[in-house]
Amino acid sequence: MDGEPDLWIGGTWRHSSDGGTRDIINPANGSVAAVVDEATPDDATAAVAAARSAFDDGAWRATPVTERSELLDRVADLLQRDKERLASLETRDTSGRRRISRRGATSRWVAGDCR
């Protein structure tokens, strides 16, 4: 397979288990903006199992609420810092600039809710 893997499963980047890919089409002009791995049902099952394991056995569950809040605030800071680049990528993917600012606001809201 060409290119870097696009699926983050169980703490590692990997390609689709069947080698399938999907073209991401820029809705503004119909050009191919990217080619990404297409997850299979087996990939989704592996991702859900990894997430369950991380939740049940991982460090996040034992992380104090105040530390979780600080981490979520950091996510919001990074989204804010890179919002123009992320908005450009999101626009090329779906023509949806508004979602980026909502993601930062959501991260900050959840961080506040942790306090």
Residue 21's beta-bridge partner residues?
A: 37
* pTM tops 0.85, yes or no: no
Distance between CA atoms of residues 62 and 56, nearest Å: 10
Mean per-residue pLDDT for 19-44? 92
Give 39 or 106, the one with higher predicted confidence: 39
Structure tokens at 110: 């959840």
The single-letter code of the amino acid at 28 is A
Q: Is the pLDDT of residue 58 over 90?
A: no
Mean per-residue pLDDT for 68-91? 85
Distance between CA atoms of residues 100 and 11, nearest Å: 24
Average pLDDT along the chain: 84
pLDDT at 103 (0 to 100) = 63
pLDDT at 36 (0 to 100) = 93
Distance between CA atoms of residues 61 and 68, nearest Å: 10
Residue 12's beta-bridge partner residues?
A: 9
In three-state form (DSSP H/G/I as H, E/B as E, the rest C), the secondary structure along 51-105 is HHHHHHHCHHHHCCHHHHHHHHHHHHHHHHHCHHHHHHHHHHHHCCCHHHHHHHH
Distance between CA atoms of residues 18 and 15, nearest Å: 8
Q: Is the pLDDT of residue 84 over 90?
A: no
